[in-house]
């Protein structure tokens, strides 16, 4: 997700107000409502108001930038990419728009285009940790692991206490078969942010891969406690219960994960397996039917 710089947002808000300072009353009201919603992190409302303002006075760069940021926050990546792309047609050297479009491309899984945008942005700001991290993430998804590791290492030299960079580097190390080294990075993540359910659940997963289910379950329990709305904590803990033969507990955790992530076919399949172990044939048939529906 885009790490929005406060200074950038302040400048954009100021530019936006100046752009519409002489606009007719309706446009100015839409803009002010959008600015207020943006500052309150009401991203959907802000995007709606910026759209109304943009319709009344099209092509204003600050409005497009702010709406693009809203769309990133809402995971509406196609619309975000379109807004940043329009900005770049007006201002070809706008580095913030290029980084924003790169993040939209990440969300869309267009990793080569994302890496290209981040590379161009880094020619202007070679020490931008967020952009190094994002390019590393794009490159890792392109399976260019050496280049990805170089970006993560460079980012950590600049900002050695950035947990997200350690997290992304750990993923590359896991893909490269360096499980012990990945665990070291995840330990560092948890040291820096011990309340992050994603970090805890992922460390638990890696610990389980190394055969230490007791420590893994401790992490899964912490992840669920820290964020009961994160489906991964329940999913991974269910796997731990399954490994221990605690099928009812596994079934209950898969059920909670499904409530949070109902379109994940793997969860339905795994709960069906737990239902079968418990002798619940009707539940098994229901879950397998849903799994087949989602995987057609």
Tell me the domain boundaries of the chain: 6-108
Pick the CATH number of 6-108 from 1.20.1250.20, 3.30.450.20, 3.40.50.1000, 1.25.40.10: 1.25.40.10
C-alpha–C-alpha distance, residues 53 and 185, integer Å: 45
First-to-last alpha carbon distance for the chain, in angstroms, is 30
Residue 281, CA distances (Å) to 28, 246, 251, 275 in order: 61, 18, 13, 7
**Contacts from 259-264 at CB under 8 Å and sequence distance 24+?**
260/229, 260/230, 260/231, 260/234, 261/231, 261/235, 263/294, 264/231, 264/294
Structure tokens at 110: 């267009």
C-alpha–C-alpha distance, residues 30 and 43, integer Å: 14
Mean pLDDT of the chain: 92
For 228-249, write each residue's pLDDT tens digit.
999 999 999 999 999 999 999 9
What is the full per-residue pLDDT of the chain (296 aa) written as tens digits?
A: 445 555 565 555 555 555 555 455 677 788 889 989 999 999 999 999 999 988 888 888 989 999 999 999 999 999 999 999 999 999 999 999 999 999 999 999 999 999 999 999 999 999 999 999 999 999 999 999 999 999 999 999 999 999 999 999 999 999 999 999 999 999 999 999 999 999 999 999 999 999 999 999 999 999 999 999 999 999 999 999 999 999 999 999 999 999 999 999 999 999 999 999 999 999 999 999 999 999 99
Whole-model pTM over 0.95: no
Residue of 107, 121, 185, 176 lying closest to 144 (CA atoms) = 176
């Amino acid at each position: 997700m885009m790490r929005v710089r406060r200074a950038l947002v302040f400048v954009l808000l100021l530019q936006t107000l100046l752009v519409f300072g002489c606009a007719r009353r309706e446009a100015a009201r839409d803009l002010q409502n959008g600015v207020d919603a943006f500052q309150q992190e009401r991203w959907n409302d802000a995007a709606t108001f910026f759209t109304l303002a943009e319709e009344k006075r099209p092509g204003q760069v600050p409005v497009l930038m702010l709406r693009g940021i809203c769309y990133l926050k809402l995971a509406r990546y196609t619309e975000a990419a379109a807004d940043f792309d329009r900005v770049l047609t007006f201002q070809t050297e706008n580095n913030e728009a290029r980084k924003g479009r790169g993040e939209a491309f990440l969300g869309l899984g267009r990793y080569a285009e994302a890496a290209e945008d981040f590379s161009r942005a880094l020619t202007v700001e070679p020490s931008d940790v967020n952009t190094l991290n994002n390019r590393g993430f794009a490159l890792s998804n392109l399976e260019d692991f050496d280049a990805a590791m170089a970006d993560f290492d460079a980012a950590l030299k600049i900002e050695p206490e950035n947990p997200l960079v350690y997290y992304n580097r750990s993923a590359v190390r896991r893909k490269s078969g360096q499980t012990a080294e990945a665990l070291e990075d995840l330990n560092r993540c948890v040291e820096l942010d011990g309340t992050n359910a994603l970090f805890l659940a992922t460390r638990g997963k890696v610990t389980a891969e190394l055969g230490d289910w007791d420590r893994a379950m401790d992490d899964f329990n912490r992840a669920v406690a820290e964020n009961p709305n994160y489906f991964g904590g329940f999913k991974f803990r269910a796997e731990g219960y399954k490994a221990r033969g605690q099928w009812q507990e596994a079934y209950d955790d898969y059920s909670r994960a499904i409530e949070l992530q109902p379109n994940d076919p793997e969860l339905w399949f795994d709960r069906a397996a737990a239902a079968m172990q418990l002798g619940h044939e009707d539940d098994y048939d229901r879950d397998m039917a849903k799994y087949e529906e989602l995987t057609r």
